[in-house]
Amino acid sequence: MTTPFIFPGQGHPVAAIATPVGVGALAVVRISGTGVFDIAQRVFRKKNKPTFRFAQSKGFRAHFGTIHDGDGLIDEVVALVFRSPNSFTMEDMVEFSCHGGPVVVKHILKVLLDEGCRLAEPGEFTRRAFLNGRIDLLQAEAIGEMIHARSESAFRTAVNQMQGTLSLRLNAMRERLLCSCALLELELDFSEEEVEFQSRSQLQAELHLLHEELSRLVESYQHGRILKEGVATVIAGRANAGKSTLLNALLGEERSIVSHIPGTTRDYIEEYFLHEKSLFRLTDTAGLREEGEEIELEGIRRSFKKMSEADLILYLLDISLENYLDEVSRIREFCLQYPAASVIVVANKIDLTVESADRLQQLCSKTGCEVCGISAALGDGLDLFKHLMSSMAEGLDKRHESSVLVTSLRHYEALRNASDALERAQALVVDGESGAELIALELRIALEYVGEITGQVVNEEILNLIFDRFCIGK
C-alpha cells in the first residue's frame, strides 16, 4: 500500500497564465508557493503608496498598480492577495489581472520567471491543493471534468462531485470496511482464545450491505459515462440511405461528404451534437452492403464495431424505394444483436414518396421500434426527430437514476475491483472454514481500491495520469 508523495519542488514558487491564450479584455497570471509575496513586491508598484508591502496585506485584498521589468512599465494590473492557508493551493498566492493581449501576458510571465518562479506544470495548482489536503483526489478530478463539461447534466454532476458528495459516500464505506477489518485482525492477536469480536453472521450482513452499495455505484457508471461523454449514437443503414446528409442536418454544417455514389463514406466520422439537455456523440458510418472494395469493407467492419458500442442506433431507411420493407428483417436482427442499444428507425426521404404515413405505420408494426419520418435533405420532420432522440436519451438516463454517479473509468475499475474483493470475502465467510486472516486480506484489498479513488492510497503514476490532463494554470 502506498501513500501520497510530495513531488520535487513542492512549495517552490510557480507561475502560469490562468486564462486562455489570445486577445481578450482581461487575462490572469497567478503565482503560488514560498516567497511569492517577495517576488510580487519586486515587480509591482501600488499607485500613490510607495511603502506598500504584499507581506503586510491581508488576504482577499485587491490592489491597483503597475508591473515593471528592467525596461520599464509593462501594464496596469489588479493584484489579488491570498494568504496561506486560505487560498486554492493553501499556499501564499497572488493573481495579477492584466489586459488580455498575448504580448502583455508574455512579458508579465517572463518577469515573474526572471524573479525566481518556475513555470507551473499542467494541473500543478490543483495538484498542490490535493497534496496540501484542501481537496481529495476525486474532487480534484471533478474540477477538471467541470471545466471540460459539454452539457448541463455533465456540469451538474461534476459540481456535485466537486462538493464531495461521492467522497463522503466512499469515506463512510471505507470506515465501515476498516472497522470490520480491524476486528478481524484483533481476532488474530487472540487466536489461542478463539474469540470472535464480530460474529460471522454480523460480518456477513455487513459485507452484504457494503457489496450492494458498491454494486450500485458500479452500475451508475453507465449513466455517468453518458452524461460525461454523450450518448454514443451511431447512424447506420445501407449505402445512399442519407446517413451523411442526416449528420450534416443535425450539425447544421457540411461536415460529411454527400454523394450519390455508393460507398463514399469509407470510415466513421464522429461529432458532438447537443439538443435540449442531452449530449450526443454522433458517428456517421459506412453504408452496409455485402459487396465493395477492400477499403470499403474495412469501413463496414468498423461500422459494426461502433454499433456494438452504441447506446442509440439511428437506422436510416430509404422509404422512397419500393422494396424498403425488405430491410425489416435486418432491423430485427440489429435489435437482437445489440440489445444494450435503443433503436430508432429513421424513415428518410418522405418527400419522395406518397402515403408516407401509411408506410411509417407499417414500419412501426413490423419492427417494434420507434419510427420517425424525415427528409434529411429538406429538413422536414427534423424537429420531431430531435425531440424523439432527446426522449430516448432521457430514457437511458432513467435506467440508472442515482443522486451519486460514477463518471470516471478509473473510479469504475477501482470500484469493480473492490466489489470483487468483497464478493470473495463474503464467500469465505459463508464457507465457514476460512480463517480471519484470509477474510481480512480481501477486506484490505477492497480498502486499497476504494482509497485509490479519493487519494488515501495513491502513487506518482496515478497523479501524473490525472493532472497531466489539466491545462497549465489550473
> Is pLDDT above 90 for 410?
yes
Residues 381, 383, 384: CA angle, nearest 5 degrees: 70
Dig out the grid coordinates for 62 from the structure: 485587491
> Is pLDDT above 70 for 161?
yes
Give start and end residues of each alpha helix (H) in 72-164. 102-114, 124-131, 137-147, 152-162
**E strand segments, 217-335:** 231-237, 269-275, 278-284, 312-318
Residue 81: CB partners within 8 Å, gap ≥ 6?
37, 54, 57, 58, 59, 60, 61, 62, 63, 93, 94
Of 97-111, 283-297, 407-421, give the lowest mean pLDDT range.
Answer: 283-297
Mean pLDDT of the chain: 85
What digits encode the pLDDT tens for the residues 5-58? 444 445 899 999 999 888 989 999 999 999 999 999 999 999 888 889 999 999
Rank 217-221, 235-239, 255-259, 357-361 by mean pLDDT and report only the highest. Answer: 217-221
Q: Does domain 14-135 have CATH number 3.40.50.620?
A: no
Measured in whole angstroms, the distance separating CA 190 from the mean position of its chain's CA atoms is: 47
**Sign, CA torsion 103/104/105/109:** positive
Question: How do 14-17 and 118-119 pair as beta strands?
Answer: parallel
Contact 280, 394 (CB under 8 A): no
Rg, C-alpha atoms of the chain: 29
CATH class of 147-224+408-454: mainly alpha
Residue 301: CB partners within 8 Å, gap ≥ 6?
none
In which band, very low, low, confident or very high, does the pLDDT at 401 lie, cut at 50, 70 and 90? very low
Q: Which of 1, 453, 428, 441 is nearest to 177 (CA)?
A: 441
Q: How confident is the model over 113-123, as a mean pLDDT?
A: 95
Which residue has better confidence, 168 or 7? 168
Q: Which amino acid is at 360?
A: L
Homologous superfamily of the 231-398 domain (CATH)? P-loop containing nucleotide triphosphate hydrolases (3.40.50.300)
Distance CA 439, CA 336 (A): 42
Q: Which of 18, 234, 178, 33 is nearest to 115 (CA)?
A: 33
Distance CA 257, CA 248 (A): 9
Do you find a cis peptide bond into 85, omega within 30 degrees of 0?
yes
> Is pLDDT above 50 for 130?
yes
> Is pLDDT above 50 for 445?
yes
In which band, very low, low, confident or very high, does the pLDDT at 289 lie, cut at 50, 70 and 90? low
Of 58-62, 151-155, 168-172, 361-365, give the lowest mean pLDDT range.
Answer: 361-365
Give the per-residue pLDDT at 355. Answer: 75
Specify the length of the chain in residues. Answer: 474
**Torsion angle of C-alpha atoms 194, 198, 202, 207, degrees rounded to 10:** -110
Dig out the grid coordinates for 48 from the structure: 500613490
Distance CA 100, CA 389 (A): 41
What digits encode the pLDDT tens for the residues 172-224? 999 999 999 888 888 776 665 566 667 888 999 999 999 999 999 999 998 88
Q: Report the DSSP beta bridge partners of residue 152.
A: none
The one-character DSSP state at 375 is B
Q: Which of 42, 58, 115 is nearest to 92 (CA)?
A: 58
Q: Where are the domains of the chain?
A: 14-135, 147-224+408-454, 231-398
Percent composition of the chain: helix, strand, coil (DSSP 3-state, to 5): 50, 20, 35
Number of neighbouring beta carbons within 10 Å of residue 345? 27
| CA distances in angstroms from 229 to 223, 279, 358, 426, listed in the order given | 10, 8, 37, 35
Give the per-residue pLDDT at 4. Answer: 42
Residues 170, 176, 179: CA angle, nearest 5 degrees: 140
